Amino acid sequence: MLREIAELIEHRVKDPRVRGVTLTGVRMADDLKSARIYFSVLGDDVDLEEVQGGLQSAKGFIKREIGRRLELRYVPELEFRHDPSLVRGEEMEKLLDSLKPEEPGEGES
């Protein structure tokens, strides 16, 4: 399901608010009637509320397409939630890079 939704967002959803969205996971309810889709967006100038609004706006289209593509008895209700782990990882990487000692000859002119 995650792969199908990611493909739809990348290639079929026309809303510019969802450009650059990366899906990081999906958690299905035990009864398969709802799915929590986790997403992340990299970049400093990202408005998460705007991205969330774009995903909410595309939810009906995504549900219809999932129903057509996957042979499910019931198409789950979709809920999109932000996953900050990619952003945190990027911040940690920058921090670790700033702690590296300078290589000999790099800072010399």
Q: How many CA atoms lie within 13 A of 106 on its CB side?
A: 5
Band the pLDDT of 108: cuts 50, 70, 90.
low
Q: Give residue 92's pLDDT.
A: 81
Binning the chain into helix, strand and coil, the percentages to the nearest 5 are: 45, 20, 35
Q: Count of domains in the chain?
A: 1
| Backbone Cα Rg of the chain | 19
> 47-70 pLDDT, tens per residue?
889 999 999 999 999 999 999 998
Domain assignment present for residue 55? The answer is yes
Q: Is residue 108 one of the residues assigned to a domain?
A: no
54: in domain:
yes
Classify residue 79: in a domain, yes or no.
yes
pTM comes to 0.77
Distance from C-alpha of 13 to C-alpha of 54, rounded to nearest angstrom = 9
Residue at 85 is within a domain = yes
Asked if 46 and 60 count as a contact pair (C-beta separation under 8 A), the reply is: no
Q: What is the DSSP letter of 18?
A: G
In a domain? residue 109: no
Report yes or no on 44 lying in a domain: yes
In a domain, 105, yes or no: no
Could you list the residue range(s) of the whole structural domain that residue 36 is in?
2-98
Residue the block writes with tokens 């009637």:
33
CATH code (residue 75):
3.30.300.20
Over residues 61-104, the pLDDT tens digits come to: 999 999 999 888 889 999 999 988 777 777 788 888 888 777 66
Let me know: does 30 contact 10? Beta carbons within 8 Å.
no
